[in-house]
Amino acid sequence: MVSRDKHVAVLMGGFSSERPVSLSSGKACADELERFGYRVTRIDVTHDVANQLAEVKPDVAFNALHGPYGEDGTIQGVLEFMQIPYTHSGVLATAVAMDKELSKRLAKTHGIAVAESKVMDRFDITSAHPMKPPYVVKPVAEGSSFGVVIVKEGQSHPPQVITSDEWKYGDRVMVERYIHGRELTCAVMGDVALGVTEIIPQGQEFYDFDSKYAAGGSNHECPAKISPFVYQKITNMALKAHKAFGCRGVTRSDFRYDDRFSEEGEVIWLEINTQPGMTATSLVPELAAYAGHSFGELLHWMVEDASCLR
C-alpha cells in the first residue's frame, strides 16, 4: 500500500526544445501518481530549480524532463548535491547516452551493432556529400528527432538547412548511414526487457516529432510481428545497452530492422533513451501494460526505485 505521506515532486517543463513534451509527460505522471495515493507537487523547472526544490522539500523527485538539462546529467547532478532521491538514470549514464557520438562508441565496444557514422562540424557539409547517400544527419545532443534530416539516394547535394541560419541544434552533427527497414523499440524496466514494439509512422517518412507525439502520428504494434529470433536479439541488445551504460529505472532502446533480403535481416541499435516519454501516445507505458503493469504500477515502481548515487 502506498504511503499517502510520501511526497513526490514531478519535475517537468524546463527550457529545452522538448518543453511541450515534458509538460505533457509531467502532467500525465503527476495525475496518475496522485490517483495512486502519493502526495504530489508539480514543478515547472526554471534555472532556479535548486531553490524550487528546497522550498518544496520532496521525498522523491520524479524526473519528467526531456532534452538538454533534463536527460544529460545536469538535473541529476543538482539532485545528487541536494541528496534528493530521483527516478531514472544517474549523472554519468544520462550524460553519455545523450551524446550520440559517445553512446555509439560505448555500444560498439560492448558488441552492439551500430551504423557507420562520423561526427562533423555542420559548416563542413557544403557542396560535397560527407557520405554516400542515403544517409542521415542529426544533432549530436538532441532528442525527439529534432533536427534529423534524411538525405535520399540520388540527391545531388547535401541538405542546405544544415548550414543555414534556421539550424538551431548546435554545430556538431552526426552523419550516419541510413538503415532501410522497420522501426522497432524495446523498453527495459530494472533488469527486465518488457517487450518489443514496431512503430509504423502514418504519413511521415520516419518516426519524427509529429509521429512520436501527435495523435494518430504513428501506429504501435505491440508485440512486434517479427521472428522469435529477431525479437530475442532485440531484447538482448536493449538489456545489454541498459547495463553497459549503467542505466537505472526505465530506459528504451530504438532499432532499425532491415528485412528486405532475409527474415534474419540486419538489426541496428540507434540509441538509448534514459528519459522515455510518458505521454498518452508514449511507448513505454504501452510496453509495460503488455508486460502486465498498469501505468500506475509502472510509476509506483519508479518512485520506489528512486535513489541517489545512481
CA nearest 64: which of 36, 83, 42, 37? 42
CA nearest 198: which of 189, 209, 188, 185? 185
What sections of the chain are H helices per DSSP? 19-35, 49-56, 74-82, 91-98, 100-109, 209-213, 228-244, 283-290, 295-305
pLDDT at 213 over 70: no
Convert the pLDDT of each residue in 175-201 to its tens digit: 999 999 999 999 999 999 999 999 998
Query: For the chain, what is the mean pLDDT?
Result: 91
- pLDDT band at 170; cut points 50, 70, 90: confident
How many beta carbons lie within 10 A of that of residue 24, not counting itself? 20
pLDDT at 2 over 80: no
Cα–Cα distance for residue pair 130/158, rounded to 1 Å: 8
User: In the chain, what is the straight-line distance between the N-terminal and C-terminal CA atoms, in Å?
Assistant: 25
**What does DSSP assign to residue 145?**
T
pLDDT at 105 over 60: yes
Instruction: Count how many residues are written for the chain.
Output: 310
Which of helix, strand or coil describes residue 249?
A: coil
Instruction: List beta partners, residue 60.
Output: 8
- Active-site positions read 18, 144, 213, 252, 254, 271, 273, 277
Convert the pLDDT of each residue in 59-85 to its tens digit: 999 999 998 899 999 999 999 999 999
Convert the pLDDT of each residue in 113-164 to its tens digit: 999 999 999 999 988 999 999 999 998 877 556 788 999 998 888 988 898 9
* Lowest-confidence segment of 15-29, 147-161, 198-212 by average pLDDT: 198-212
What is the structure's pLDDT at 188?
A: 98
- Range 17-41 average pLDDT: 95
Convert the pLDDT of each residue in 238-262 to its tens digit: 999 999 999 999 999 999 999 988 8
CA nearest 270: which of 199, 216, 220, 211? 199
What is the structure's pLDDT at 208?
A: 45
Give the global pTM: 0.89
Instruction: List beta partners, residue 188.
Output: 193, 251
Cα–Cα distance for residue pair 279/163, rounded to 1 Å: 33
What is the structure's pLDDT at 4?
A: 61
* Lowest-confidence segment of 26-35, 40-49, 216-225, 226-235 by average pLDDT: 216-225
What is the percentage of the chain residues whose pLDDT exceeds 70? 93
**What does DSSP assign to residue 169?**
S
What is the structure's pLDDT at 201?
A: 80
**What does DSSP assign to residue 215?**
T
Cα–Cα distance for residue pair 131/158, rounded to 1 Å: 10
What is the structure's pLDDT at 280?
A: 66
